[in-house]
Amino acid sequence: MKILVVGCGKVGSEIVRDLAGSNEVDSVVAIDASSQNLKQLRKRVPIKLQTVRLSILQKTQFHNLLEKVDLVCGALPGRLGFDLMTETVKSGKDTVDISYTPRDAFLLQRRAKDAGCRVVPQCGVAPGFTNMCVGDASRRMERMDSVEIFVGGLPEKPQPPLNYRIVFSLEDVVNEYSRPVQVIEEGERKKVEALSGRGLTSFPGVGKLEYFLTDGLGSLPKSYPKTREMHEFTLRYPGHADMMQTLRILGFFERNPVKIGVDEVEPRQLTIELLRGAMSRGSPEDFLAFRVDVKGLSGGKKTHLRYQLLDHYNRKSEVSAMARTTAYPCTSVALLVGAGKIKETGIVTPERIAQNPRLFQFVLDRLAERNVGMKVTNLN
């Protein structure tokens, strides 16, 4: 099996490393527009790897490369994810993508089915692995009443004042703080403000964290529209949301340029560059915490299933918990697709895959082999 990985940043590089270390994979081709990213990748992955400096915007060269591989893993920033999936569908290539794209992947449904290929969108940690947990819960219940997802990647040693360190695309982090949030409340799909719905929760092994609404449900509202309540919350150290909301209210996340002297500056882009410095300080050691609570009926009785995970920075491999928990669901599903275990063509969501207990168990087993363990508890 020959796999193309598009995007070799913090998460993409771990996707490459994990695939190259898998017996099922013969070789990995990794492309990125940054020569520095590729140079660092070659140091980390000495076997089965070919690197190419290339942008997906260079369409002729990109399609020539697509012809030589069996499937694609996408790890680009969200603004480029839909473009990548569009191009891979044109070539009829199976694709597993981790980006949270502004455009709905289901817009590619007909083209993907006509091409006979599979596209698994938003297959990282959240959305992605969290969706798989909901998919597994839906299999165990005859009715789901509520889905509450809490997830966050945070530094082990937070640095004031923001108490946050970049663990994936900062552009996508800012998007989380500004993009309208899809939720289901009292059976109605609606959109609310990001950073709203705040509260505090205690997480075992971590302590007290704040939570607030972000747009991380992905395809879940479309997959389970009859659920009465459905929310996804991001976890941060207390006080972070207030600071981000202040920046948003003051216009720091706006895209419309502001004239300063003779120059025009986009506030959002300037904010990202300033935050990049503040959010790059301190130790890279992080943790990833998530909890998925699903309530409903099973066997005619009320049921409350809890899926909980806590992962830490791997000092031996120097890989962040965020990269590990985002990369491994993607690589696991890619291996399932490559092995022909997923027969359905078109857009295949992570929750759809996890409705098959054997496929979900395969993902759980691969994560456990990498010391990413999840605990499932029936709280009734």
pLDDT bucket at 72, cuts 50 / 70 / 90: very high
- Predicted confidence at residue 166, as pLDDT, reads 87
Mean pLDDT of 63-77: 96
Q: Which amino acid is at 275?
A: L
- Predicted confidence at residue 358, as pLDDT, reads 98
Mean residue pLDDT across the chain: 96
- Predicted confidence at residue 171, as pLDDT, reads 87
- Predicted confidence at residue 127, as pLDDT, reads 96
- Predicted confidence at residue 170, as pLDDT, reads 86
Share of the chain above pLDDT 70, in %: 100
SS3 224: coil
Residues 155/376, Cβ–Cβ less than 8 Å: no
Which of 270, 249, 273 has its CA nearest to residue 195? Answer: 249
Residues 236/210, Cβ–Cβ less than 8 Å: yes
pLDDT for residue 256 is more than 80: yes
Helical spans, DSSP H, in the chain: 12-20, 35-44, 59-66, 78-90, 109-115, 129-140, 170-178, 220-223, 240-249, 267-278, 321-338, 350-354, 357-369
- 262-316: pLDDT as tens digits: 899 999 999 999 999 889 988 999 999 999 999 999 999 999 999 999 999 999 9
Contact residues for 153 (Cβ-Cβ < 8 A; gap 6+): 167, 168, 286, 287, 288, 320, 321, 322, 325
- Predicted confidence at residue 241, as pLDDT, reads 96
Measured between alpha carbons, how far is 284 from 268 in angstroms, rounded to an integer?
Answer: 25
Mean pLDDT of 317-337: 97
pTM of the entire structure? 0.95
pLDDT for residue 178 is more than 90: yes
- 84-125: pLDDT as tens digits: 999 999 999 999 999 998 899 999 999 999 999 999 999 999
Give the DSSP letter of residue 245: H
- Predicted confidence at residue 162, as pLDDT, reads 93
Tokens 């449904």 correspond to what residue? 109
Measured between alpha carbons, how far is 242 from 54 in angstroms, rounded to an integer?
Answer: 40
**CATH for 129-321?**
3.30.360.10
- Predicted confidence at residue 152, as pLDDT, reads 96
Tokens 């209210």 correspond to what residue? 249
CA angle 116, 339, 365 (to 5 degrees): 130
pLDDT bucket at 41, cuts 50 / 70 / 90: very high
Contact residues for 256 (Cβ-Cβ < 8 A; gap 6+): 266, 267
- Predicted confidence at residue 167, as pLDDT, reads 80
Mean pLDDT of 46-66: 95
Mean pLDDT of 42-46: 93
- 289 beta partners: 152, 310
Contact residues for 15 (Cβ-Cβ < 8 A; gap 6+): 5, 73, 75, 98, 327, 330, 331
- 341-370: pLDDT as tens digits: 999 999 999 999 999 999 999 999 999 999
CA atoms lying within 13 Å on the CB side of residue 163: 13
Q: Which fold has domain 2-124+323-373?
A: Rossmann fold (3.40.50)
Domain ranges across the chain: 2-124+323-373, 129-321
Mean pLDDT of 199-222: 95
Tokens 């947990």 correspond to what residue? 133
SS3 191: strand
- 119-176: pLDDT as tens digits: 999 999 999 999 999 999 999 999 999 999 999 999 999 999 999 998 877 888 899 9
Question: What angle separates helix 357-369 from helix 129-140, to the nearest 10 degrees?
Answer: 140
Measured between alpha carbons, how far is 75 from 77 in angstroms, rounded to an integer?
Answer: 7
